Amino acid sequence: MKILRALPFLISLMAASSLFFIMLPVKADDVETVTTKPTSVVADPAIADKVKDNDSEPVTSDNGTVTQNELENAEAYFNRGNAHYEAHEYTEAINDFTKCLELDEKNAVSYYYNRGNAYLQSQQQDKAIADFDKVIELNPKMYQAYINRALLYTDMHSYTDAIADYKKAISLKPDHQKIYALLAWVYYKNEQYTQAIKSYKKAIKMSPEDGGLYFNLGLVYMHAGKLENAMDSYDKALDFNPNNFWVNYNRGLIYLMTKKFEYAISELDKVAIGQSDYGNTYYYRGLAYDKLGVDDKAKEDFDSAVKFKSAYINVPYQDIKNLKEINID
Q: What's the pLDDT tens digit per position in 135-185?
A: 999 999 999 999 999 999 999 999 999 999 999 999 999 999 999 999 999
Q: Is the pLDDT of residue 322 over 80?
A: no
Q: Is residue 43 part of a domain?
A: yes
Q: Is residue 170 part of a domain?
A: yes
DSSP 254-322: HHHHTT-HHHHHHHHHHHHHHSTT-HHHHHHHHHHHHHTT-HHHHHHHHHHHHHTT-TT--S-GGGGGG
**pTM for this prediction:** 0.76
What pLDDT, on a 0 to 100 scale, did the predictor assign at position 15?
30
Helices (H) then strands (E): counts for the chain: 14, 0
Burial class (CB in 10 A: 0-12, 13-18, 19+), 33: middle
Q: Give the pLDDT of residue 23.
A: 24
Provide the b/e sequence for 191-221 (b: ≥16 CB within 10 Å): ebbebbbebbebbbebeeebbbbbbbbbbbb
**What does the radius of gyration of the chain's CA atoms come to, in whole angstroms?**
25
Task: Please state the domain count of the chain.
Answer: 1
Average pLDDT over all residues of the chain? 79
Residue 122: burial class (beta carbons within 10 Å; 0-12, 13-18, 19+) = middle
Can you tell me the mean pLDDT for 274-301?
93
Confidence at residue 228, expressed as pLDDT on a 0 to 100 scale: 96
**Mean pLDDT (whole number) for 179-205:** 97
Predicted pLDDT of residue 309: 82
pLDDT at position 35 is 43
pLDDT range class, residue 70, cuts 50, 70, 90: low
Cα–Cα distance, 232 to 227 (Å, whole number)? 9
The answer as to whether 111 is a domain residue is: yes
**How far apart (Å, rounded) are the C-alpha atoms in residues 282 and 268?**
8
Any domain includes 53: yes
Instruction: Report residue 70 CA to chain centroid gap.
Output: 38
- Highest averaged pLDDT of the listed ranges 14-18, 107-111, 317-321: 107-111
Which residue did the predictor score with more confidence, 68 or 73? 73
- Measured CA to CA, the distance from residue 285 to residue 291 in angstroms comes to 10
Taking alpha carbons only, the member of 293, 222, 271, 243 closest to residue 8 is 222
pLDDT value of position 71: 61
Answer yes or no: is 194 within a domain: yes
Structural domain contains residue 195: yes
Of the listed ranges 14-28, 163-177, 273-287, the one predicted with least confidence: 14-28
Q: What's the pLDDT at 31?
A: 64
Q: Is residue 281 part of a domain?
A: no
Domain with 142, as residue range(s), is 21-262
Per-residue model confidence (pLDDT) at position 310 = 77
On whether residue 234 sits in a domain, the answer given is: yes
For residue 85, the model assigns a pLDDT of 94
Please report, for the domain that includes residue 34, its CATH number: 1.25.40.10
Flag the least confident range among 17-21, 167-171, 298-302: 17-21
